[in-house]
Amino acid sequence: MRFDISHQTDYHYSRPVFLEPHLLRIRPRTDWSQRLITFDLQILPEPAGCARLVDLDGNDTTQPWFSDTHDHMCIIAHSVVETLRQDPFAYLLDADADHLPPLYGEQKSQLQSYLLDDGIDPSVQDLAGSVQQEAGPNTARFLSLLNQRVYQLCPTEIRLEGDPLTPAQTLARGGGACRDVAVLFMAACRSVGLAARFTSGYVAGALQQERFLHAWAEAYLPGAGWRGYDPSLGLVVADRHVALASGPTAAATRPFSGRFRGDAEATMTVDLQIHSSPAE
């Protein structure tokens, strides 16, 4: 699919403040599953300087820094992306990954931040255990069943601000935002020894819908690499999703991170327009 995405974020401050350096994870990634055709980034006020960085997960990030004081900041990103993954099951798992827990071998040391999750709540362990009992030892079947189970147990709601709920809170409430159910899915994966990470981005939808940044989870499968699962929609990620950034936690994928110095109240507004169509 071809996506044309305009993402504008405005910050307004009740009085002028000094903007500390910010970190922007708003540039869609380019890999075998999606191709970034064009990208344009405007930042107002104009930064005093701007650096391009690649973080530990390979995310293409931008760090602007500023001078003087300002009562607003506007970030406008325009992206044209072609998604290429039509069949999300077109892979051949390594023999050691076809059963739970997968044997990561030499890769395990590189995956520690995606495996470690101290203090997983018993309710999450029970969820993962029941899915594992139904799926048997098959890794791919476990992931598909878990995706559907979370989708059924926790209908998605819109919550624009705030960190993700804990997995136990999402289960207890019986619902959550897309970031909440993604974190729940990750915790259930990690409880059975599957490496999982958080991904932020966009998803295709009806033109008349109000659009918001989206989130889902990815599991690492030897022989297949990182594979996306979207428990908020009950979908295995294919060509309807555009990834921005991935990381071991939701905080590591925030599209905008930064602070300001000054005694002021801040408000934020977002205008996101997503147009998708079949690729030519």
Give, rounded to a whole angstrom, the gap between the first and last alpha carbons of the chain: 8
pLDDT of residue 208: 53
7's torsion region: left (phi>0), alpha (psi -120 to 50) or beta? beta
Q: What is the CATH number of domain 2-84+255-277?
A: 2.60.40.2250
**How far is 75 from 5, CA to CA, in rounded Å?**
14
Strands (E), the chain: 2-19, 23-24, 34-44, 49-54, 60-65, 70-83, 196-203, 214-221, 225-230, 235-236, 241-247, 256-257, 260-261, 266-277
- 58, amino acid identity: G
- The token duo for 38 is 């064009």
Contact 261, 31 (CB under 8 A): no
The pTM of this model reads 0.94
Tokens 């999300």 belong to residue: 88
Of 135, 124, 270, the closest CA to residue 196 belongs to 124
Q: 10-residue block means of pLDDT along the chain (280 residues)?
A: 96 97 96 96 97 94 96 97 94 90 92 87 95 94 98 91 92 96 97 97 77 94 96 96 97 94 93 88
Q: What is the CATH number of domain 95-238?
A: 3.10.620.30
**How far is 241 from 101, CA to CA, in rounded Å?**
27
pLDDT of residue 239: 96
Of 86, 81, 85, 84, the closest CA to residue 4 belongs to 81
Tell me the pLDDT tens digit for each residue of 75-101: 999 999 999 999 999 999 998 888 999
Strand partners, 271: 8
Contact 182, 216 (CB under 8 A): yes
Kindly give, in sequence order, each residue whose CB lies less than 8 Å from that of residue 58, ignoring residues fewer than 6 positions away: 29, 246
Question: With 0-12 CB in 10 A as exposed, 13-18 as middle and 19+ as buried, what is 170?
Answer: buried
pLDDT of residue 115: 95
pLDDT of residue 206: 60
pLDDT of residue 127: 97
Give the domain ranges of the chain. Answer: 2-84+255-277, 95-238
Contact 262, 9 (CB under 8 A): no
